[in-house]
Structure 1
Amino acid sequence: MAEATLTISSRNYSSWSLRGWLLCRMAGLDLDVQVLSGDPASRAELLHLTPSFLVPRLTHGAVRVWDVLAIAQYLTEVRPEAGLLPDDLAMRSWSRSISGEMHGGFINLRSALPMNLRARYTDFKLWGGAQADIARVVEIWQDALKAHGGPYLFGARPVVADAMYAPVCTRFVTYGVALPPDCAAYRDRIMEWDLMREWIAAAEDEPEEIEELDMEF
């Protein structure tokens, strides 16, 4: 029996589910993944698990955690050896800051470019709000990559911040968003990450319909 259970929505459409799963796998949890559909029985089950209907939701022994940043913080406490945050204090603060910015911001990008791993669009028209959000993501990535040398945002290994921005990489692929060379290389590195490949392969086997539980994209 797995030591932990992660309850998620759609692998294809749910960016928050992807973030939570990446964090759990990065932490080395022996994980069972439970995928809930949008039918009433599943919604009732999720309400029992977490009153806010939020996914992902981690159950680890007696602990229940159902917000991505809360999951990240919990995992850094119980799996310090996993290195989910950079070793240096200043870098840890930087990582937390840009992770928090992704968690609470980029509403225009989320609305205009919803996650859809199976889709590919050419000549997708971006409106101003989404373009401003993309410009900010590029700025965040370039600052971190320049300061820490890549190939990940804070150096040689992926940390929480990379998990937080991984779904953005999928959006940039889906909608053909043009990026500067350094950001394009980072996007490709994330998309080639073995954990991302595993998630995407599983997403390809899901039903086509959008799950109603996944409202956050």
Structure 2
Amino acid sequence: MYRLHIANKNYSSWSLRSWVLMRELGILFEERLTPFETGPNSSPFREFSPTGLVPCLIDGDTAVWESLAIVEYLAERHDGVWPEDGAARAWARCASAEMHAGFIALRQRCAMNCGIRARLTDVPASLHGDLTRLDELWSDGIARFGGPFLAGPAFTAVDAFFAPVAFRIQSYDIELGELAMAYSDRLLELSAMQQWYREALREPWRDPAHEAEVSEFATLLEDRRTHY
């Protein structure tokens, strides 16, 4: 069985991508969660990940790191990771790569923190540009391939790559166009996303660096996490 190493569900957007894809596609794996640690000499993920980062998928003696590499590794072994249709598959790969490398302002100013509700202090041009592109991209995929997911009727890797954005939209009360908002809600309603959210709220850890990311760009309105 695969072993998937992840970090805190409340914060780790990269971990969510691999986790939600495998859960939604019914790919069995053992979850290993190692919380983030702070400090100059802290690298708790080095024991299993060559980069000291998560996610990292272990398959026997093979370690697969980086979320895009994990997706492609799984696609070689399981059906449904990418859309069957060639045009949809090409679009899905492009959109996933764009998310993997881009949307920098969105990442910086709307750090994933599932358990909070916050109000952004401002929306600079860089963030506005990311949100405009996000709306455009999501709307294009749904219109082009008929929905309800980005590349057609089934949840695939491209949806997993944007799953953390749905939590960001919820946490920071971000407004997009009608198609994009409906899609974000659809992601949040998935059984795997609901499970991730419940478990994120119950986590006992607080990581100062991740908490500071929120306070730098937003005003905290509500904290729905169980442990304080």
> Does the pair score TM above 0.5?
yes
Letter in 2 for 1:145: I
Equivalent residue number for residue 192 of structure 1: 189
Equivalent residue number for residue 105 of structure 1: 102
Contact preservation (8 Å) 1:10, 1:210? no
Identity %: 36
Indicate yes or no: 2:48 matched with 1:49.
Answer: yes
In terms of mean alpha carbon deviation, does 138-147 or 50-59 score higher? 50-59
Structure 2: distance between partners of 1:44 and 1:121: 29
Structure 2: distance between partners of 1:131 and 1:44: 34
Structure 1: distance between partners of 2:12 and 2:209: 11
Offset from partner CA, 1:74-106 (integer Å, 9 cap, x none)? 000011x2x111111111111000000000111
Note closer, same or farther for the CA distance 1:47–1:87 as it changes in structure 2 (3 Å cut). Answer: same
Offset from partner CA, 1:168-200 (integer Å, 9 cap, x none)? 111011111111111111010000011100111
Offset from partner CA, 1:129-157 (integer Å, 9 cap, x none)? 11111111111001101111111111211
Letter in 2 for 1:15: S
Equivalent residue number for residue 116 of structure 2: 119
* Root-mean-square deviation over aligned CA pairs: 2.3
Contact preservation (8 Å) 1:124, 1:176? no
In the alignment, structure 2 segments of 5+ residues that lack a partner are 211-228
Equivalent residue number for residue 33 of structure 1: 31
Structure 2: distance between partners of 1:140 and 1:112: 20
In the alignment, structure 1 segments of 5+ residues that lack a partner are none
What's the TM-score once normalised by structure 1's chain length? 0.90
Contact preservation (8 Å) 1:5, 1:59? yes
1:1-217 equivalence runs, <5 A = 3-39=1-37, 46-79=45-78, 81=79, 83-122=80-119, 124-210=121-207
Deviation at 1:5, TM superposition (A): 1.1
Letter in 1 for 2:69: A
Note closer, same or farther for the CA distance 1:146–1:6 as it changes in structure 2 (3 Å cut). Answer: same
Letter in 2 for 1:21: W
Contact preservation (8 Å) 1:148, 1:155? yes
Equivalent residue number for residue 225 of structure 2: none
In terms of mean alpha carbon deviation, does 47-56 or 145-154 score higher? 47-56
Of structures 1 and 2, the one with the larger relative CO (CA 8 A, separation 6+) is 1
What's the TM-score once normalised by structure 2's chain length? 0.85
Structure 2: distance between partners of 1:173 and 1:124: 16
Contact preservation (8 Å) 2:37, 2:207? no
Q: Which has the higher strand share?
A: 2
Q: Could you list the runs of 4 or more consecutive aligned residues of structure 1 that deviate by over 4 angstroms after TM superposition?
A: 42-45
Give the number of aligned pairs.
211
Note closer, same or farther for the CA distance 1:181–1:38 as it changes in structure 2 (3 Å cut). Answer: closer
Deviation at 1:19, TM superposition (A): 0.5
